[in-house]
Each structure stands twice: as structure tokens, then as C-alpha cells.
Chains A and B, each alone.
Chain A
Amino acid sequence: MANPVVQAVNVTKTYNRGKPNEVTAVKHASLKIDEGSLVVLKGPSGSGKTTLLSLIGCQTKPTRGEVIIRGKKVSKLPEKFMNQHKRRHIGFIFQHFQLIAGMSVLDNIVLPLIPEGVSPKARNKRADRLLEQFNLAHRRQFKISSLSGGEQQRVAIARALINNAGILLADEPTAHLDSKLTSDLLDYIEQLKQSGHTILITSHDPVIYQNPAVDRVLEMKDGQITS
């Protein structure tokens, strides 16, 4: 029987509680994701996909309910322990990559290892392995601002993998990519799945959710998981 590594139990997230602009982005959402599976969360814009991903990715805490990552109730953890758990178990690829433009490729990639106290030598060793894997070795000391969109995408993936996290979350990763880069991204994701990573992607791009490598597609509407 497969082992669920990610669980959301009756999770609700409300922003601006008690104010006129109060919004409940996620309502009583529950899901289980098994180890090594590739799951896509699809739905129209504003359906709560990104919020649910942020909750699972420990970017924010729920208003009620529980998020459990690798058996630990992360939503109940104090901030510093939640961040620690996030750094150790989750890699995140953001919609706009969120790389630091003025820093080099290497410095961007090793960034998540700094709060973990990994030595500079060990950080660079791990980064070099990923730079080779993603064909970025020749861009090691280049500033992010001088890279192409495809290269930036690969840097973002490398950064998400640097902490050896088994869980990879990607928020609309193809939203700003052309068909060639989308296809490249799918190749990388398939490779990561083959290597045992658990992957959750939010997307409303059919190229993603109709891909044969996808194990499950969950649909969200008005903050609720409908299928």
C-alpha cells in the first residue's frame, strides 16, 4: 500500500478575517498524495489552487484544519520548526521563478542551504552536481538577469532540488513559457518522478494535466476540491 507523504485534512484558509474584504480562498479541502506520485491540481484562476499549494508548501498556515507532511502536522508547528521542516522536505518552483536577479546562478541555487548551516564547500559541491544535470555549468557565475527564460526555469528547478527534498511543488510552472520550454519542463518533471520525487503541480494548462506521466488530476472550484 502506498504511503501518503502529503495530507490536507479539512483545510480552510481565510484572508483578511473579520474585514470587509474577507476572502475564503480554500474551503474544507482534503487530499492525500502518495509517495512518488505526480498529481496535478487544476482549476480556473481564483479557484484556490495557489493557496492550497502554499498551505501544503508551508508558506502559510491554515485558518483551520491540518496539513501533514511526512507524518508531521506542519500546520501546528511554531514558525521556526515549520520553516525547518519545509527546507528539509519541500522544494518549491514559483510561477515567476522568484530568483534574485542581482545574484549569480550559483548563489541563487545554494540559497536554501544557508539557513541549514551547510558548509560553503558542501553547498558548492551539491550545486555543481545540479548545474551539470541541468546543463548550466557554463553559466555558474552569470547573473540571473543575463539568463534566458529557459535557463532561469532550470535554475529555479535546481534551487528547488538543492536540499534533496523528496516533495516538489510547482505553481503554474508553464504559465509564462513557450511550447519548447514547456516540453523541456515536462521532461524534467518526468525525470524527477522516475527518481522517486513526489510532485504536486497547479496548472490549468492541458499540456500538463493531460500528460500520461500524471497519476492523478484534482480539480478545484471556488476553494473546494471537486474531483
Chain B
Amino acid sequence: MILHPWILGLIIGHSALLAVFSLGVINAWQIFRGWDYNSTEEKQFLLEKKTYLVSTVMNFALFIQILMLFLFEMAADELANVLPGAMCAVGTLSSGSYGFPLLNLKIVSFFAYFIWLMINYLDNLMETYPLVRRKYLGLMLIYPLAVVETALLFMFASDLDPSVITSCCGSVYNEGTEGLGGSLAGASASFILPLFFSIVILLLINRFVLNRRDTGRKRLGNLLEFPLWIAFFITAIAVIISFISTYVYEMLSHKCPFCFMGAEYCYYGIPLYFFLFIATAAGMTGGLLEMIEQPQALKEKAGFLQKRMNAVSLWSMSAFIVTGFLPFVIYYIKTGRLI
């Protein structure tokens, strides 16, 4: 399977990006170690030139890495055609031991890369490179994600076997099946919906009450955003599987979070996931920006970016809720029934 065009494309893409990332990290280490902004020596001028190059290259590399998440999903969906038993991406991901761990890692990486890109953007708005050492430390910290991602991709690819029958989404996301998929599919709407909306309400209270008060509480409010958005993302995925999917497919037994991304369902899942990922990434970034305190000029720019991130997260969250619950509303209007 490693020579399948999709797999080959993914492996070449990931390997090339990892090579670029590795070069970026080597340079990031040199900058991190030798950086002294006040120096007027040759070494510092070379590092200043280098940081511009590394920052530009990493912008490109991480942006492509983010797109790779969607490419990976498309590849998994396409590969389902050659794996017996697979009906959609779920079949491909569950055909070996590495599919879902790779997908989960890619989701974590998506958020890590997004946050790094925003911090890099913020640093590039400043004249004095105030975040250089912190952003390159961050780059070195997220580098293992790319290494493990590439390693997992190789293992995933070599593990795919078209002669072995795999599970379809109907069996993975079935309340009778053991494992996370089965538990999520079996989760009761009366439990998961109140939980999800509690987090949404907490986010709104946090945004419109805590964040509008005095500075001390505003800081607390912004710092709370990060864990709240993680909780929002996790519960939103659970809501998609246990509740939204029922109304998209109009079948009680079909709970797949992937099938509705295809043409058969008018690519419904694409905007749904787009809003979810953007809301979470922007919300988490907005929360983290609160930690930037010095110098004052940077704090002001960070505050401005934070406002934008907060607005993007709120609008995207609203769009996610509208998109997600639209099938339910349409079903109710059509049938007059809740289920």
C-alpha cells in the first residue's frame, strides 16, 4: 500500500516538511542560544537575518502541515475504496493500530501549529523581535509532534493491508461496540447536549462577564479560555457523533463523523469541522495571548490580536452551532418530531 498514490503523496509531503522543519529547528536553536538584541556585533546581525528566513520558511511549512490534516482525511476516505469492508475514512483509519492515533496527533498538531503561527505573526508586527527566544523555544517544543506524525504515517502506511477485512463506520460508531467510538455513539443526548451547552454558556459568561470587568478578573477570564476551548472541542466532537449525525443521516444507527464530509451529504461536514477547528484554535490562542505582558508595546499588539481572535472564535462557534443544529431543526420542521 505504501506505493498507493495517496500514501506516496502523503509520505513525500510529510518527509519534505519534516526536513524543512528540522532545518528550521537547527537554526532556531542557534538563534535561541546566541540572541542578544542589544548587540551590534556581526553575529547578532547574522542571527537577525536568519530569524527572518526561519520565520518565513516555518510560516510556510506549518501552514502546509495544517492543510495536511485535511489531506490526510481525504486520503483516508479515498483509500476506503481499496480496503475490503471500509465504507469511508473510518475503515481506513481502523484497519491498523496507527490510523486513529495519527489522526488524534494531527488534530493536536493543528492547534499547536496554529498557535505558533499566530505568535510568529505577532512577533513580526514588532520592530524589536520581542518574542524571538520564546517563539523559537516553542518551535523546538512542537518539533517532536512533526517527528512522531511522520513516523506514525510510515507505520500507518506499512500497516495497511488490502487483503484484510476492516471495520466500517457503522460498526466502529455503534453503541454496542467497545471502545471510544462505541461509547461516543452510545452517549445519551440528554447527557451530552446539556454538557456541551454548559460549556458554551461558560464560554459566553467568561467572555461577556469576566472579560468585561476589572483587569484582574479580565486576566483570569482570558486565562480560562484555553481549557474551556479544549473542553468545547471535545464535547463538540461527542455532540457531532451522538446527536448531530443522527439528523444528518436521518438514521438512528448511523453515527459516523466522516461520511457526511462526502458529496452524498453535500459536503456538510466540511463547514461544520472548519468552524469547529477555527473556533477552537482562535479561542485557545486568544487565551494564551493573555500571558504576554512585557514590553508594553507588545502587550498592546497582543491585546489587539486577542480581540480579533476572540471575535473569530465567537463567530465561528456560533456558525458551528447553527450549522450543527440545522439538520435537527429541518428534521423537526419536516416531521414535527424530535426523533
Whether A77 and B52, one on each chain, are in contact in the complex, defined by CB atoms closer than 8 angstroms, is no
Cβ-based interface call for B22 (8 A): no
Number of interface residues, chain A, beta carbon within 8 A: 15
Cβ-based interface call for A188 (8 A): no
Whether A76 and B37, one on each chain, are in contact in the complex, defined by CB atoms closer than 8 angstroms, is yes
A65 to B42, CA, bound (A): 8
Binary A-proximity of B52-69 (CB < 8 A = 1, otherwise 0): 100000000000000000
Cβ-based interface call for B127 (8 A): yes
Cβ-based interface call for A96 (8 A): no
Q: How many A-B contacts are there with CB distance less than 8 Å? A: 29
Whether B52 and A64, one on each chain, are in contact in the complex, defined by CB atoms closer than 8 angstroms, is no
Q: A61-B45, A63-B45, A64-B45 are in contact. Are A78 and B129 (CB under 8 A)?
A: yes
Whether A64 and B40, one on each chain, are in contact in the complex, defined by CB atoms closer than 8 angstroms, is yes
Cβ-based interface call for A48 (8 A): no
A168 to B42, CA, bound (A): 28
Whether A76 and B42, one on each chain, are in contact in the complex, defined by CB atoms closer than 8 angstroms, is no
Whether A78 and B124, one on each chain, are in contact in the complex, defined by CB atoms closer than 8 angstroms, is yes
Q: Which of B40, B49, B127 contacts A81 (CB 8 A)?
A: B127
A56 to B48, CA, bound (A): 19
Whether B52 and A62, one on each chain, are in contact in the complex, defined by CB atoms closer than 8 angstroms, is no
Binary B-proximity of A64-84 (CB < 8 A = 1, otherwise 0): 111000000001111101000
CB distance from B193 to the nearest CB of A (A): 49
Whether A64 and B42, one on each chain, are in contact in the complex, defined by CB atoms closer than 8 angstroms, is yes
Q: A10-B40, A65-B40, A66-B40 are in contact. Are A77 and B45 (CB under 8 A)?
A: no
A76 to B129, CA, bound (A): 10
B contact residues around A65 at 8 Å (CB)? 40
A4 to B293, CA, bound (A): 34
Which residue of A has the minimal Cβ distance to B37?
A76
Which residue of A has the minimal Cβ distance to B40?
A66
Interface centre among A10, A66, A78 (most CB of B within 10 A): A78
B contact residues around A81 at 8 Å (CB)? 127
CB distance from B297 to the nearest CB of A (A): 12
Whether A76 and B48, one on each chain, are in contact in the complex, defined by CB atoms closer than 8 angstroms, is yes
Whether B42 and A78, one on each chain, are in contact in the complex, defined by CB atoms closer than 8 angstroms, is no
Cβ-based interface call for B41 (8 A): yes
A contact residues around B127 at 8 Å (CB)? 77-78, 81
Whether A79 and B52, one on each chain, are in contact in the complex, defined by CB atoms closer than 8 angstroms, is yes
Which residue of A has the minimal Cβ distance to B41?
A64
A contact residues around B48 at 8 Å (CB)? 76, 78
B contact residues around A76 at 8 Å (CB)? 37, 40, 48, 128
Binding site for A on B (CB under 8 A): 37, 40-42, 45, 48-49, 52, 124, 127-129
